[in-house]
Chains A and B, each alone.
Chain A
Amino acid sequence: MSNDRVYNVLIVGVGGQGIILASDVLGLVAARHGYDVKKNEIHGMAQRGGSVSSHVRFGKFVSSPIIKMGEADVLLSFEQIETLRYFPFLSEKGKVIVNDLKILPPAVFTGKQDYPADVIGKIKSKVPDALVMKADEIAAGMGNPRVANVIFLGVLSKYLDIPAETYEEVLKETLKPKLVDINLKAFHKGRSLAA
């Protein structure tokens, strides 16, 4: 543990994208590293395609399980407009990692409302160094579209101070044996993309 600060990571997206798994792994990694950890997510109806957010907080001592609005150090978003929905949680100095993916909400796929235009441009105008990537395409290219979440975990790990080995250990213990290799590959792919 390098200091007394509390790290605030907010992971958002749509139910079914593997957000809870990614945040569970991050929580376990932080605990393994010796940090106090709290995390919270609203997942009651997550499987039904609703908006999902997961708050992960770790440091020497953590009180609240949810991040105070405006204090997220990292906003990791698995879907374009979900980034905007949770944007006010981000601190002025916060980092943004965005999946360049649109998942159409009901009002859009039924033709009642348009999907907002140039979401990525709007994010970049506020956070010029926002990291934008097509994680689902990269995952598909690796042979398993389901590992986009772990690619992002790899990206995220470059912004935090916990060694890669700790993530590897937790991934090995958490995942089914046949999924370990592809996920470790995905994790390191993510790390290389963040570099």
Chain B
Amino acid sequence: MKELMSGNEAIARGAYEYGVRLASAYPGTPSTEILECIGALYPEIRAGWAPNEKVALEVAAGSAYGGSRSMAIMKHVGLNVAADPFMTLSYTGVNGGLVIVVCDDPEMHSSQNEQDTRNYAKFGKVPCLESSDSQEAKDMVGEALLISENFDTPVILRSSTRISHSMSLVETKTRSEGPKELGLKKDPMKFVMLPAMARRRHPIVEQRLKDVAAFAETFPFNKIIMGDTSLGIISSGVNFQYAREVAPSASFLKLGMVWPLPVKMIKDFASRVKRLVVIEDLDPFIEEAVRLMGIAVEGKELTGICSELSPEKVEIALTGASSARSIGPIDVELPLRPPNMCPGCPHRATFTALKKNKVYVSGDIGCYTLGALPPLGMLDHCLCMGAGIGIASGLDRSLGDLAKGKAVAVIGDSTFFHSGMTPLLELAYNGGSTTVVIMDNRTTAMTGAQNHPGTGFTLRLDPTITADIEKLAESFGFKRIRTVNPYKVRELEKIVSEELEAPEPSLIISRAPCALLKTDRILIDKPYDIDKDVCKGCKSCINTGCPALEFVKIEEPAEGEKRKGFSKINPALCVGCGTCYEVCKFDAVKEAS
């Protein structure tokens, strides 16, 4: 029987069925569920969270070198972190099959950029497969492993938000093991990339790319589906599904391998259709390759480069208009509903204490990035994972007095272990007066609470080490290290101001478990209450941005009423963190009786 699976569940299933023996990943939307699913369902696969994607790929590479079928999983920007091993892995090749699953995020549903991973495939001279539904996502894990073993190369399996998070029906099979003999094999000419060896490997890589390109001509997931010859569409991934939806009678060249491209097949297809259009998200990757073949083709002038395509965008690109009969919009100015820190979030408390100190905050990627949004508005920089510490140090050291007592970096615990340790070391080493706040909520919260080296548990919830941030900073040479409970907002505020004045690097560890975690809870889980007669309507509590608070406007003020409104707590949402209690100057907020 067929099962309904998301693309991510199907990739995990593929890892199981095709004999993957080790999988490693760092969480990142839209890729996270792949390793979660492997952890939960497939004990045959050795699997664990790596501190970052570079390590994940290195662990998977080692496993493949030893002959095991292996998988590294990451979101698109994770491949930037893993780019160093990736580029040279192309030279060493593998032994057991190695598939690198990379999930792109066109439209940036949960990302800081919309880079196109196909460019990395070309850059690294590595084959790249792309599936258009869950069945293909599963099947292509097997294809990627075969290509990897047959051509001695790592292979990228590119997914996207709309493939990873869409569900469709999948036929499942039993598991079969990979073909390679397992063991430690000495082969320095292949595995030790000293210049002399690497020089010998490079021509092998170039020849390999030609061989894979020849194979692409007969790869069964590259297929021509002839229909009406007045329109020929080249597409791949979810865009193939959109194009087939809106132009079912057209002719299609559906690509399952998007690098290297099947040149003969493309030329053959082009010669059989009157008008040739490439429908692809993001960069004109296929389009430019087709044009280099000397073939007239349309593409980005119709679809644009920025943001993701959709069925209506593809139809408009192909025909100039949508054929749908929409009821049309209702013309009302709608308040936006962006994601928000949860009621009781410890980050809200930390940001509230920082706000009082009027600091300039460099941060990075995590739930705390939401601190940039109103009403907190407390994040001044977000570049990439781990970047906040380096940015604050650079501002502090280059600006001197202009940034004195202002340069603060914030970083989460999972992000700290991902890529915050080296900039913290740089800060200790080169000095300055930057204050770093590690917002330690004991989990990787933004992606849905995954464990990491600081939580004491593995992917499969087995007990393990708990990396000690204080001791680590101490060993780096930090002299000023303070650990605080963020919900004591006034105390934290004082500590922040003391550390800002210190003429040397400071580290504040603001530690309280994520409000969504059920374990090690310090929240009282009883609502606070606001005495509306005592409340002056100053909005100090409202400006923490807590969704459990509401500012109730006084529409018809009684005589002598000076307030525009008052604050109210929604007892169904309040978990009793007390941040509003801490900021209220009029004792209007009471602990629940």
- Verify A116–B242 contact, CB threshold 8 A: no
Write the chain A residue with the least CB distance to B161: A42
A and B contact pairs by CB, cutoff 8 A, 10 listed: A39-B4, A44-B30, A45-B446, A47-B342, A47-B448, A66-B311, A70-B326, A81-B332, A81-B337, A123-B330
Write the chain A residue with the least CB distance to B29: A44
Q: Contacts A38-B133, A50-B340, A110-B542 given; indicate if A65 touches B166 (C-beta within 8 A).
A: yes
- Verify B327–A105 contact, CB threshold 8 A: no
Closest Cβ of chain A to B328, distance in Å, is 6
| In the A-B complex, the 4 residue pairs with the closest CB atoms | A70-B326, A70-B324, A48-B339, A44-B110
Q: Contacts A111-B565, A123-B330 given; indicate if A37 touches B338 (C-beta within 8 A).
A: no
Closest Cβ of chain A to B78, distance in Å, is 15
Residues in chain A within 8 A of chain B (CB atoms)? 14-15, 24, 27-28, 31, 36-51, 62-71, 81-82, 84-85, 87-94, 104-113, 115-116, 119, 122-123, 126-127
- Verify A106–B374 contact, CB threshold 8 A: yes
Assess whether B315 is interfacial by the CB under 8 Å rule.
yes
Closest Cβ of chain A to B530, distance in Å, is 13
- Verify B328–A88 contact, CB threshold 8 A: yes
A94 CA / B327 CA spacing, docked (Å) = 8
- Verify B332–A63 contact, CB threshold 8 A: no
Contact stretch, chosen from B13-21, B59-67, B505-513, B547-555: B547-555
- Verify A64–B315 contact, CB threshold 8 A: no
Closest Cβ of chain B to A187, distance in Å, is 19
- Verify A69–B374 contact, CB threshold 8 A: no
Q: Which of B226-248 contact A (CB under 8 A)?
A: 238, 241-242, 244-246, 248
- Verify A108–B335 contact, CB threshold 8 A: yes
**Proximity string of chain B (352-395) to chain A, C-beta cutoff 8 Å, 1 when within and 0 when not:** 00000000000000010010011100000000000000000000
- Verify A48–B342 contact, CB threshold 8 A: yes
A112 CA / B248 CA spacing, docked (Å) = 48
Closest Cβ of chain B to A96, distance in Å, is 9
A90 CA / B339 CA spacing, docked (Å) = 25
Of the residues B4, B327, B545, B550, contact of A127 by C-beta under 8 Å: B327
Further pairs besides A64-B242, A90-B326, A105-B337: 14, Cβ < 8 Å: A31-B169, A40-B162, A44-B30, A45-B339, A49-B337, A50-B339, A63-B245, A68-B312, A69-B322, A81-B334, A88-B329, A110-B542, A111-B565, A116-B334
- Verify B326–A48 contact, CB threshold 8 A: no
Assess whether B192 is interfacial by the CB under 8 Å rule.
no
Assess whether B307 is interfacial by the CB under 8 Å rule.
no
Write the chain B residue with the least CB distance to A67: B311
Q: Contacts A47-B342, A89-B326, A91-B326 given; indicate if A31 touches B370 (C-beta within 8 A).
A: no
Of the residues B312, B333, B550, contact of A104 by C-beta under 8 Å: B550
Write the chain B residue with the least CB distance to A75: B327
**Proximity string of chain B (23-45) to chain A, C-beta cutoff 8 Å, 1 when within and 0 when not:** 00000011000000000000000
A27 CA / B248 CA spacing, docked (Å) = 24
A116 CA / B329 CA spacing, docked (Å) = 15
Closest Cβ of chain A to B113, distance in Å, is 15
Of the residues A43, A45, A92, A104, contact of B165 by C-beta under 8 Å: A43
Closest Cβ of chain B to A22, distance in Å, is 14
A87 contacts across to B, CB distance below 8 A: 327-330
- Verify B310–A66 contact, CB threshold 8 A: yes
Of the residues A40, A68, A81, A115, contact of B322 by C-beta under 8 Å: A68
A90 contacts across to B, CB distance below 8 A: 326-327
Write the chain B residue with the least CB distance to A44: B110
A91 contacts across to B, CB distance below 8 A: 324-327
A69 contacts across to B, CB distance below 8 A: 310-312, 322, 324, 326
A50 CA / B315 CA spacing, docked (Å) = 29
Of the residues A71, A84, A89, contact of B332 by C-beta under 8 Å: A84
B550 contacts across to A, CB distance below 8 A: 104, 109
A16 CA / B549 CA spacing, docked (Å) = 17
Closest Cβ of chain B to A131, distance in Å, is 16
Assess whether B168 is interfacial by the CB under 8 Å rule.
yes
- Verify B238–A65 contact, CB threshold 8 A: yes
Assess whether B592 is interfacial by the CB under 8 Å rule.
no
Write the chain A residue with the least CB distance to B238: A65
Write the chain B residue with the least CB distance to A116: B332
A42 CA / B446 CA spacing, docked (Å) = 14
Q: Contacts A45-B339, A68-B311, A84-B332 given; indicate if A109 touches B162 (C-beta within 8 A).
A: no
- Verify A109–B547 contact, CB threshold 8 A: yes
Assess whether B2 is interfacial by the CB under 8 Å rule.
yes
Q: Contacts A47-B448, A63-B244 given; indicate if A107 touches B330 (C-beta within 8 A).
A: no
Closest Cβ of chain B to A43, distance in Å, is 7
- Verify A48–B315 contact, CB threshold 8 A: no
- Verify B168–A65 contact, CB threshold 8 A: yes
**Proximity string of chain B (391-403) to chain A, C-beta cutoff 8 Å, 1 when within and 0 when not:** 0000000000000
- Verify A113–B335 contact, CB threshold 8 A: yes
- Verify A110–B543 contact, CB threshold 8 A: yes
B374 contacts across to A, CB distance below 8 A: 106-107, 110, 112
Q: Contacts A37-B168, A111-B542 given; indicate if A49 touches B342 (C-beta within 8 A).
A: yes
Closest Cβ of chain B to A146, distance in Å, is 12
Q: Contacts A28-B4, A69-B324, A111-B539 given; indicate if A64 touches B332 (C-beta within 8 A).
A: no
- Verify A64–B245 contact, CB threshold 8 A: yes
Write the chain A residue with the least CB distance to B329: A88
